[in-house]
Amino acid sequence: MPRLRNLLVDTDQSWGGRRRASRARWLADTFPNLADMSVIDLGGRVDTWQHAPVRPAHVHVVNLEAPPADLPDWAEVDHGDACQLPDRIAARRYDLVFSNSVLEHVGGHERRERFAEAVHQLADRHWVQTPYRHFPIEPHWIAPGMQYLPVSARALLARRWPLAHTRPTTRDEAVREVLWTELVDYTQMRLLFPRSRILTERLAGLPKSLIGVAGATQGRA
């Protein structure tokens, strides 16, 4: 089953990897001056940009992981909470705020509101992507309809589902994992990003993820 998951989502050559590469090209098409921009990536990683088809002039990654030991000269990394940024970061301005598959993990509606406030404060342009709640496959566990189950059932599935990335060893750990993964829909995205264009990434005609975009000069719907 780990091999099947790799084929589906986890490697650059997988179906999911090809979708991520397509989304990176979409970002570059939407912001043609991306190579000249300073970008703050909320919740991401430097290696995302090392493999991107277009790399910004400067990337500032902020997440809860320990910073890597070696960084390229075009990148900086800070340990920080995107919903409660340190003043030294919150006071800065960037050309673009970027976030990929983070909004669903920040911890409830109130924290998502704070995340959105940070996005609006840091730049006039943004690209905030998150999986769509009503796509039939829950993307983190690759489990059909898992997002609609009661918490107890999701926790049980998280411990037993063969396509999970890593399986929690205890019930409490499983409950925490599923509670920290809360997919959102169009109504929630529109509330969080009322002046943004909400783009839809589709698979087989079905909405797969939502992308809140502001300040774009071009790009497809």
Q: What is the mean pLDDT of the chain?
A: 91
| CATH number of the domain that residue 194 is part of | 3.40.50.150
> Please, what is the Cα angle at 93 between 89 and 98, to 5 degrees?
85
Q: What is the pLDDT of residues 32-59, one digit of tens each?
A: 999 999 999 999 999 999 989 999 999 9
| Residue 178 domain flag | no
> pLDDT tens-digit profile of 160-196?
998 887 889 999 999 999 999 999 999 999 999 999 9
Residue 156 maps to a domain: no
Over residues 85-102, the mean pLDDT reads 97
Residues 6+ apart with CB under 8 A from 81: 64
- Domain for residue 161, yes or no? no
> Residue 115: is its pLDDT beyond 70?
yes
From the list 77, 65, 81, 79, the residue with the least C-alpha distance to 117 is 81
Percent of the chain with pLDDT over 90: 81
Alpha-carbon distance of 20 to 6, in angstroms, equals 14
Q: Does 28 fall in a domain? A: yes
Which domain range does residue 41 map to?
A: 21-107+124-133+183-201+209-214
pLDDT at site 4: 54
Does 119 reside within a domain? Answer: no
Tell me how many degrees the CA angle 93-98-101 measures, rounded to the nearest 5. Answer: 145
- Tell me what pLDDT residue 179 has: 97
pLDDT band at 67, cuts 50/70/90? confident
Domain presence at residue 114:
no
Short-list 153, 81, 157, 89, CA closest to 121:
89
Identify whether 155 is part of a domain.
Answer: no
pLDDT computed for residue 186 by the predictor: 98
What's the confidence (pLDDT) of residue 163?
Answer: 87
Question: In which band, very low, low, confident or very high, does the pLDDT at 221 lie, cut at 50, 70 and 90?
Answer: very low
User: In the prediction, which pLDDT does 66 show?
Assistant: 86
Number of domains in the chain: 1
Per-residue HEC secondary structure of 176-196 comes to: HHHHCCCCECHHHHHHHCCCC
What pLDDT, on a 0 to 100 scale, did the predictor assign at position 68? 85
Residue 194 in any domain: the answer is yes
Give the CA diameter of the chain: 48
